[in-house]
Amino acid sequence: MSLPHALLGLLAVQPASGYELTKEFDRELGRYAWQAGHTSIYPELNRLAERGLVVVTDSGPRGRRTYEVTGAGREELRSWLLTPPANGGVVRNEQVLRMFLISALEPADARRVLRRIAEHTGTAAAELRGILGSEPDAGRGARAGFGRLAAEFGVRQYDAAHEWALWALDQLPDPPAPEAAPENEAEDEAENEPAR
Amino acid sequence: MSLPHALLGLLAVQPASGYELTKEFDRELGRYAWQAGHTSIYPELNRLAERGLVVVTDSGPRGRRTYEVTGAGREELRSWLLTPPANGGVVRNEQVLRMFLISALEPADARRVLRRIAEHTGTAAAELRGILGSEPDAGRGARAGFGRLAAEFGVRQYDAAHEWALWALDQLPDPPAPEAAPENEAEDEAENEPAR
DNA sequence: GTTCGACATGTCAATAGTGACATGTCGAAC
DNA sequence: GTTCGACATGTCACTATTGACATGTCGAAC
């Protein structure tokens, strides 16, 4: 039951159409917190409207409807955010699951996966940092605070995962025993290592 | 389609019954990576058995059946873990969603929620560190490596979230303006702050 | 004036997952 | 010898979510 609250939250910051909300879920929100496609968003908006938590305040060109949160909607969102985390809430993250399952692999495979994770989290963090630094708003833009808090969270998550992957690599038994050159760093080290 | 792989992963480390697997999902695995109740685990084990990815190798007291991964199962798991992360995978985390939605609250409420998050992540990290430190295995226990990698990941995640919450608190406009005592730290600061 | 990509919303069948209910057994403590 | 909690597995109706399909419009570029 989180999707309705996600929508209320987005609309509380700024009125939007279903189409815009859908795009929002393609960004940080959908990448770290809660995925949703337009096929679940549109029906949910209609349900929220029926319950009086949002209203259509404007109609645009292509049947576009702009939604806004009502007082009741804002209250619902507030009480949801302020009430205890209950049992812990839904958690379902394929990436993290993959990290957990690495121990089930043979060391050579594990090393391969960990390296991929380390690389990916590293570049992802760097990218996010780039966006965070270049964003011209940073101050007053309508949903400025929103993006910043979320992006900063993402950066920290990626950094933590990156550090973890490096640590885990170090943890693995029997490192590949570097062939000859003890000083080789940043060598490309492609998919298949030379057998031994 | 992650649950079957989660089960294969657990069984690859150590054979187990559905009941034991269910308990596994009540620990770190279910808390950070992938939730599942026995009502989805038992049917899934049967499906995996039908597909020949696991087999029952032992029957115990109360109808208990111990499952083991087959060669095909191990291969399936391996190829899943080694293939590209595809589109990014399923992401659904209520806690993180709540963090994202904080910006939709008034500063006073936001501060309240952030403080709760900071507190929770702080104690959770400390607890995990405790377990991590006291665990007697740390070396050879059957799924020792498994728990350690996972727990370490959890610690880092909690730390990152904790630091983020503190940073976010600092980011919020208009701090509560401490009444009189400029040096008051660790005051209990109950649910309702004195109006202004 | 046409073309085409982005805009915009929707349905529906199928799959995944949950919560309530159901059933029974074993072992330890009393 | 009974009681009770943990062990152990299951079904089923309901809810949530996805993927495939459907439909149409607007605006810009050509």
Residue-wise pLDDT tens digits, B64-80: 999 999 999 999 999 99
Name the DSSP class of A20: H
Q: What is the CA radius of gyration of chain B?
A: 22
Q: What is the pTM of this model?
A: 0.87
Is the minimum CB–CB distance between B184 and chain A shorter than 8 Å?
Answer: no
Contact assignment for A98 to B105 by CB distance below 8 Å: no
Is the minimum CB–CB distance between A150 and chain B shorter than 8 Å?
Answer: yes
- Asked if residue B2 has pLDDT above 80, the reply is yes
Contact assignment for B13 to A161 by CB distance below 8 Å: no
Residue-wise pLDDT tens digits, A131-185: 787 765 544 344 445 678 888 999 999 999 999 999 999 988 766 666 666 665 5
Mean pLDDT calculated for residue range B45-49: 97
Confidence of residue A6 (pLDDT cuts 50, 70, 90): very high
- Asked if residue B183 has pLDDT above 80, the reply is no
Q: How far is the CA of B142 from the C1' of C27 (A)?
A: 26
H or E element at residue A195:
none
Q: How close B18 gets to chain A, by Cα (Å)?
A: 18
Name the DSSP class of A100: H
List A residues 106-145 in contact with B (Cβ-Cβ < 8 A).
Answer: 109, 112-113, 120, 143, 145
Confidence of residue B107 (pLDDT cuts 50, 70, 90): very high
Is the minimum CB–CB distance between B163 and chain A shorter than 8 Å?
Answer: yes
Residue B193: per-residue pLDDT = 47
- Asked if residue B1 has pLDDT above 80, the reply is yes
Name the DSSP class of A31: I
The C-alpha atoms of residue A39 and residue A1 are separated, in whole angstroms, by: 16
User: What is the sign of the dihedral through the CA atoms of A33, A1, B27 and B71?
Assistant: negative
The C-alpha atoms of residue B121 and residue B115 are separated, in whole angstroms, by: 10
Contact B32, A92 (CB under 8 A): no
In total, chain B counts a number of residues equal to 196
Mean pLDDT calculated for residue range A122-129: 92
> Residues with Cβ < 8 Å from B63, sequence gap 6 or more?
none
Residue B110: per-residue pLDDT = 95
The C-alpha atoms of residue A42 and residue A159 are separated, in whole angstroms, by: 35
Residue whose entry in the numeric block shows the structure tokens 């808390």:
B31
Write down the mean pLDDT value for chain A. Answer: 86
Nearest CA to B68 out of B79, B56, B50 is that of B56
Q: What is the DSSP string of chain B?
A: --HHHHHHHHHHHS-EEHHHHHHHTTSHIIIIIB---HHHHHHHHHHHHHTTSEEEEEE-TTS-EEEEE-HHHHHHHHHHHHS--TT---EEEHHHHHHHHGGGS-HHHHHHHHHHHHHHHHHHHHHHHHHHHH-S-SSS-TTHHHHHHHHHHHHHHHHHHHHHHHHHHHHSSS-----S-TT--S----SS----
Q: How close A52 gets to chain B, by Cα (Å)?
A: 19
Contact assignment for B91 to A35 by CB distance below 8 Å: yes
The C-alpha atoms of residue B91 and residue B88 are separated, in whole angstroms, by: 8
Q: Which residues touch strand C (CB under 7 A)?
A: A 17-20, 22, 38-39, 42-43, 45-46, 60-65, 90, 92; B 1-3, 35-37, 39-40, 61-63
Report CA-CA distances (Å) from B41 to A181, B4, B25, B28, B73: 49, 9, 10, 17, 16
Contact B12, B69 (CB under 8 A): yes
Residue B29: per-residue pLDDT = 93
Question: Could you count the other beta carbons within 10 Å of the beta carbon of residue A98?
Answer: 22
List A residues 12-71 in contact with B (Cβ-Cβ < 8 A).
Answer: 12-13, 28-35
Grouping H, G, I as helix, E, B as strand and the rest as coil, residue A57 is strand
Q: Nearest 5°: phi and psi at A112?
A: -60, -50
- Asked if residue A89 has pLDDT above 70, the reply is yes
**CA B7, chain centre distance (Å):** 16
Q: What is the DSSP string of A109-127?
A: HHHHHHHHHHHHHHHHHHH
Q: How far is the CA of A10 from the C1' of C1 (A)?
A: 41
The C-alpha atoms of residue A7 and residue B3 are separated, in whole angstroms, by: 27
Among chain B residues 61 through 120, which have CB within 7 angstroms of nucleic chain D?
Answer: 61-65, 90, 92
Which residues of chain A neighbour B33 with C-beta distances below 8 Å? 91, 93, 96-97, 99-100
Structure tokens, A83: 């009430």
Grouping H, G, I as helix, E, B as strand and the rest as coil, residue A36 is coil
Report CA-CA distances (Å) from A104 to A92, A178, B10, B42, B78: 20, 24, 7, 21, 9
Percent of chain A that is helix, strand, coil (3-state, to 5): 60, 10, 30
Residue A133: per-residue pLDDT = 78
